[in-house]
Structure 1
Amino acid sequence: MGLKLYGFSHSTNTQRVVLVLNELKVPFEYISVDLSKGEHKNEDYMKIQPFGCVPCIDDDGFVLYESRAICHYIVTKYASQGTPLVPSELKANALYAQGLSLEVGSFDAAAAPLVYEKLFKPYQGKTPDEHSVKLFESNLLQCLDGYEKILSKQKYIGGNELTLADLYHLPYLTLLPQVGCNAVDERPSVSRWAKEILARPTWKSLMEDGVKGSA
């Protein structure tokens, strides 16, 4: 059967999983779940994803959801191929784990709702909440100030090796300029790091060609 990925092309979480699959050169079948048509709430889909969210994988009967959990599963199962994304040495792995926590607890916690307020809400015909926008902008600036200190001393957010912790940032690093946020470019070490990972061939291909399966 092989690995099936259920997702939506504009979903940042779907993009995160596709990126990791491509980095590790894992073949997969892509099954589109169109959120704009409500397909994620269909009875058949919710049998495999009880929250009605994307993405979700079915790996020969093993079903898993939540993008970061899926990525962890992929890099563990296919550790011997593609780009090494999880360091094994004790201290390097600890820095990697620290980077993972920073991404989800600080960066994503500010960037995701900021992009939602300024990009996705208007797309849905809703009005952004300006109080929330200011709060998320402030939180993001504080996060990036911390990142600047970290990245002035090490190459990547999880140490001196490229890891999942870096790749997880890519969807929102791409969207921030679209909502008028140039804070990344204003911090030299953060800018250097962001430009490097944004230039990865797998990410550029995903942005140019869209989400699709691989043979």
Structure 2
Amino acid sequence: MALTLYGVSDGPPTMAVMQALAYLDLKYKFVTINYAIGEHMTEEYAQKNPQKEMPVLDDNGFFLSESNAILQYLADKYPKNETLYPKNVQARAIVNHRLCFNLSTYYRYICEYALEPIFFTYERTQLRLKRALIALEHLNTYFSKLGGKYATGDKITIADFQLATTTMCLEAINCDISGYPLIQRWYNMYKVENPTLWRILEHGMNQLAYFEKNPPVLASLDHPIHPVRKN
């Protein structure tokens, strides 16, 4: 087995995959893609992922992008237990829902509010905050409906990797989530019960917190998915 993960250690989608690899006890090589100078925009990288986004998993020449797809692939190919990505149709559907919810709403709106103003020319507006709070309210409601310790029940699943990583982005900018007690309880429990996974997130969070105070200047590559931050 020769697994290679291409990404950035402070990138939330990359960190979600790193947690899965750690949870599954899989050895892998990590290749850092220098986002600031646009290594993800090169033709060489495009051969691995035409979208020129991160992360990308290389499993013996099988290249796979999109962090949700990578999580599903790893959990299916290298199963550790029956709970990380359940085989039961309805249980798996709930996990898939949370993954989709994170992609379409939770990470989308929290990223727009918390991360994009750090790296790009976007402002941290009240509208962006409102959308992030709506996403938090939705997730808090999902926790109340199922009543379990984790995002889809009493056992950790690949959905928790994504949702915990997204929630960490708010902690990186010191955003108070106490108004969403079920999320806060789960998030605090996640740190305590999964110290190996939390170390991955804490490392990335510290990097994001640094960039929050010291915004990086990104190279201009004249590409719509790589806008330039103007200080």
Structure 2 equivalent of residue 100 of structure 1 = 99
Gap runs ≥5 in structure 2: 205-231
DSSP 3-state at the match of 1:115: helix
Counterpart AA for 1:149? S
User: Structure 1 residue 209: deviation in Å?
Assistant: 5.8
User: What is the CA–CA distance in structure 2 between the aligned matches of 1:179 and 1:74, rounded to whole Å?
Assistant: 31
* 2:184 corresponds to 1:191: yes
DSSP 3-state at the match of 1:69: helix
Structure 2 equivalent of residue 64 of structure 1 = 64
- Identical pairs, percent: 27
Superposed CA deviations along residues 4-44 of structure 1, whole A, max 9, x for unmatched, are 11111121111111110110011111111110111111221
Structure 2 equivalent of residue 182 of structure 1 = 176
Structure 2 equivalent of residue 164 of structure 1 = 158
Q: Where in structure 2 are the equivalents of 1:1-215 lying within 5 Å?
A: 2-79=2-79, 81=80, 84-121=83-120, 126-147=121-142, 149-150=144-145, 153-183=147-177, 185-199=178-192, 200-207=194-201
The answer (yes or no) to whether the contact 1:40–1:53 under 8 Å persists in 2 is yes
User: What is the CA–CA distance in structure 1 between the aligned matches of 2:116 and 2:63, rounded to whole Å?
Assistant: 32
Counterpart AA for 1:201? P
User: What is the CA–CA distance in structure 2 between the aligned matches of 1:92 and 1:141, rounded to whole Å?
Assistant: 22
The answer (yes or no) to whether the contact 1:97–1:158 under 8 Å persists in 2 is no
User: Structure 1 residue 82: deviation in Å?
Assistant: 6.8
User: Structure 1 residue 83: deviation in Å?
Assistant: 8.7
TM-score of the superposition, structure 2-length normalised?
Answer: 0.77
Superposed CA deviations along residues 34-56 of structure 1, whole A, max 9, x for unmatched, are 10111111221111111211111
User: What is the CA–CA distance in structure 1 between the aligned matches of 2:197 and 2:127, rounded to whole Å?
Assistant: 30
User: What is the CA–CA distance in structure 1 between the aligned matches of 2:20 and 2:77, rounded to whole Å?
Assistant: 12
- Measured on the aligned residues, the alpha-carbon RMSD in Å equals 2.4
User: Structure 1 residue 208: deviation in Å?
Assistant: 5.4
User: Structure 1 residue 173: deviation in Å?
Assistant: 1.4
The answer (yes or no) to whether the contact 1:86–1:93 under 8 Å persists in 2 is yes
Gap runs ≥5 in structure 1: 211-215
DSSP 3-state at the match of 2:5: strand
User: Structure 1 residue 111: deviation in Å?
Assistant: 1.4
TM-score of the superposition, structure 1-length normalised?
Answer: 0.82
User: What is the CA–CA distance in structure 2 between the aligned matches of 1:113 and 1:209, rounded to whole Å?
Assistant: 21
Q: For structure 1, which segment, 11-20 or 87-96, has the greater mean C-alpha deviation from structure 2 after superposition?
A: 87-96
User: Structure 1 residue 192: deviation in Å?
Assistant: 1.5
Counterpart AA for 2:3? L
C-alpha distance 132-5 of structure 1, shift in aligned 2 (>3 A): same
The answer (yes or no) to whether the contact 1:167–1:197 under 8 Å persists in 2 is no
User: What is the CA–CA distance in structure 1 between the aligned matches of 2:201 and 2:136, rounded to whole Å?
Assistant: 26
